[in-house]
């Protein structure tokens, strides 16, 4: 569904952020992207929906080079959920209508339920949401664009353990509905719980099998971002 083929990214100051990375995201599966800080995980996600343009290699969506697709349309089909929930001023309803201005309350409430929230939250002021609620609203907002892939950039790192597990369960449920999910984490225990496949990046490249095995066996630590 979404494939990264020998993707390179070089920053404006000449630093190499990604070095020939290969990753495949399949429908109905959670692919976890793990690795130490600075390995290039978030950069790869940004390349996935053209928030960043690769310096080399190609990203394909259903076999088509994403560089030939309209970026706005791509971002509706390849949604992104960031580490820190981003909510706008106004109500939850207002936030959701950023994704679909024509959706009625029934449709908005259905997406809140899909994300594990009560539709009654539509009238809540978004700034009053808890961290877990805000993250679920961001997921509901992403789902309103009917994406086929969700890019999840450490979506639980700022949450307490209960909310963290709740978002993990939601991720598995969305995969069961057929979405392809690429989930970045520093949390090795989470990677093992969640991933159908775990891809390890080291120094901006795919880790070799021995490196990946050592990293994943290095304990249940949660590195600082």
Q: What is the pTM of this model?
A: 0.91
pLDDT number for residue 67: 95
216 three-state secondary structure? helix
Q: Does any domain span residue 101?
A: no
pLDDT-derived band at 206, boundaries 50, 70, 90: very high
Whole-number Å distance between alpha carbons of 139 and 11:
29
pLDDT-derived band at 220, boundaries 50, 70, 90: very low
Q: Does any domain span residue 187?
A: yes
Q: Does any domain span residue 179?
A: yes
Q: Does any domain span residue 210?
A: yes
Percent of the chain with pLDDT over 90: 88
For the stretch 110-165, pLDDT in tens is 999 999 999 999 999 999 999 999 999 999 999 999 999 999 999 998 788 988 89
Torsion angle in degrees (nearest 10) through CA of 193, 198, 203, 207: 130
pLDDT number for residue 218: 82
Q: Does any domain span residue 50?
A: yes
Does the pLDDT value for residue 222 go beyond 70?
A: no
**Domain count of the fold of the chain:** 1
**Domain of residue 205, residue span:** 2-87+145-216
Q: Does any domain span residue 118?
A: no
Q: Does any domain span residue 127?
A: no
Residue 198 sits in a domain whose CATH number is 3.40.50.300
In the block, tokens 């630093």 appear at: 15
Q: Does any domain span residue 124?
A: no
Whole-number Å distance between alpha carbons of 203 and 205:
6
Whole-number Å distance between alpha carbons of 46 and 182:
11
Q: Which two tokens stand for residue 62?
A: 């259903």
pLDDT number for residue 204: 96
């Amino acid at each position: 569904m979404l494939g990264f083929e020998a993707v390179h990214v070089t920053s404006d100051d000449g630093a190499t952020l990604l070095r020939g990375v290969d990753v495949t995201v399949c429908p109905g599966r959670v692919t976890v992207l793990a690795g130490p800080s600075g390995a290039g995980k978030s950069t790869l996600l940004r390349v996935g929906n053209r928030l960043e343009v690769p310096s080399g290699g190609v990203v394909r969506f259903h076999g088509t080079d994403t560089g030939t697709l309209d970026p706005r349309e791509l971002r509706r089909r390849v949604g992104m959920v960031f580490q820190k929930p981003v909510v706008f001023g106004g109500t939850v309803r207002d936030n959701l209508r950023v994704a679909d201005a024509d959706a009625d309350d029934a449709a908005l409430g259905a997406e809140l339920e899909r994300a594990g929230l009560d539709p009654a939250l539509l009238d809540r002021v978004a700034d009053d949401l808890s961290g877990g609620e805000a993250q679920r609203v961001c997921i509901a907002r992403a789902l309103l664009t009917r994406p086929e892939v969700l890019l999840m950039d450490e979506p639980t790192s700022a949450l307490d353990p209960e909310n963290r597990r709740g978002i993990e369960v939601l991720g598995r449920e969305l995969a069961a509905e057929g979405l392809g999910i690429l989930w970045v984490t520093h949390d090795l225990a989470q990677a093992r719980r969640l991933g159908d496949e775990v891809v390890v990046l080291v120094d901006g490249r795919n880790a070799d099998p021995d490196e990946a095995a050592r990293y994943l066996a290095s304990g249940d630590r949660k590195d600082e971002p």
